[in-house]
Structure 1
Amino acid sequence: MSIKTKPMTLTINNKPYGPIDVPEGLMMIDFLHEYVYLTGSRLGCGQGICHACVAIVDNPSGTSEEVRTCITGAHFFNGKKVRTVEGHAKVDEQGEVVELSPIQQSFLDHYSFQCGYCTPGFVNAATIFVEKLKREPIAREDLEGAISSALENHICRCTGYVRYYEAVRDVVLKTPGLLKEAVK
């Protein structure tokens, strides 16, 4: 008996892949790890609860969303533009990191993680949050609740929540245009 496959084509971190014959029931986390060797997304709970596995799907409308790769089949991503944690930093010709994204750097500066297992999911969630604020700035008084909403689905087993929140707040406060100017 052979495994049924279907061709799939997608873009991951601005690099086109496919068409690749992919088993019909393969989860995206397995595709990322086994087919394109991007292992930054983590298989945590395997049930879509912890969000360590999330990847970003960039929609044609200019918005982005988190998709849990441990419970979403690879073929859902057919034709889509996807970002993983490996796609945030700037790299040189040899693939060496030359500059971290503001979120990644802030997480390091704030020692936001202990074991780091959940960090890729938090990086992706925070990245989407900051990108959303670039399109739709919010009032300063709404910032704490907005950070909580952006990160609330992510589980950190090492109790790193406070530092993740502080790191995201720091990026928002240091990035012009993400907060609405106060009305005088």
Structure 2
Amino acid sequence: MSDGIVTLPLSLTVNGRAHGPLQVPEDMMLIDVLHEYLGLTGTRFGCGQGVCRACTVIVDDEHGPREVRSCITGAHYFAGKRIRTVEGHAQRDDTGAIVQLSPVQQAFLDHYSFQCGYCTPGFVNAATVLLERLRKAPVAKSELEATITDALDPHLCRCTGYVRYYQAVKAVALATPGLVREDAP
């Protein structure tokens, strides 16, 4: 404790890399740890209330990949957990340069899905979680659009890029073998 701020040790794995123990204030949100302690600024602080979901990260645990809003979830909740941020999706070389974007990231570019890009990290993570879940439990082709809507609807885009985000995710889902079942005749 210094200056009246109570800190606790925090260890977590971000994008496959172990961090910690870091001395983190007990009431600090994860987004602040990502930005201030780890230099990972791709996760966006939007509304600060968890409504816009620009701050979404992926938690990989016994519940599978799932979205968690980092602006309203305390950093210590993530102690010992594995998380992914938008920086963790693209393949990188030894220097850290991007070699290949993830299929979701590439589809968002190909479909001109975003304008300002502020909400894009949250949409990338939501789409990634959806596609990973579809690998385990494919949906019928007739259910795909509703499934995408359910996954992306909680995310807000001030520039109204929704249609292109949805089109991009649908394109990836249809182009990836095993995610979509053909409807029964």
Query: TM-score scaled by structure 1?
Result: 0.97
Superposed displacement of residue 109, structure 1: 0.1
The CA deviation string for residues 48-91 of structure 1, in whole angstroms up to 9 with x for no partner, is 00000000000135x11111011011001001000000000000
Unaligned 5+ runs, structure 2:
none
Task: Pick from 41, 44, 52 the counterpart of residue 42 of structure 1.
Answer: 44
Please name the residue that 1:52 is paired with.
54
Per the alignment, in what secondary structure is the counterpart of residue 8 of structure 1?
strand
Please name the residue that 1:122 is paired with.
123
Pairwise mapping of residues 30-179 of structure 1 onto structure 2 (< 5 A)? 30-61=32-63, 63-179=64-180
Superposed displacement of residue 3, structure 1: 1.0
Please name the residue that 1:22 is paired with.
24
Partner letter of residue 142 of structure 2?
A: E
Partner letter of residue 176 of structure 2?
A: T
Q: Distance in 2 between matches of 1:108 and 1:29?
A: 25
Conserved 8 A contact 2:55-2:122: yes
Per the alignment, in what secondary structure is the counterpart of residue 34 of structure 1?
helix
Q: Distance in 2 between matches of 1:162 and 1:180?
A: 23
Superposed displacement of residue 183, structure 1: 3.1
Conserved 8 A contact 2:55-2:70: yes
Per the alignment, in what secondary structure is the counterpart of residue 41 of structure 1?
coil
Q: Kindly report the root-mean-square deviation, in angstroms, between the aligned alpha carbons of the 2 structures.
A: 0.8
Please name the residue that 1:4 is paired with.
6
Q: Distance in 1 between matches of 2:162 and 2:182?
A: 28
Per the alignment, in what secondary structure is the counterpart of residue 113 of structure 1?
coil
Displaced runs of 4+ in structure 1, greater than 6 A?
none
Q: Distance in 1 between matches of 2:6 and 2:61?
A: 29
The CA deviation string for residues 87-109 of structure 1, in whole angstroms up to 9 with x for no partner, is 00000000000000000000000
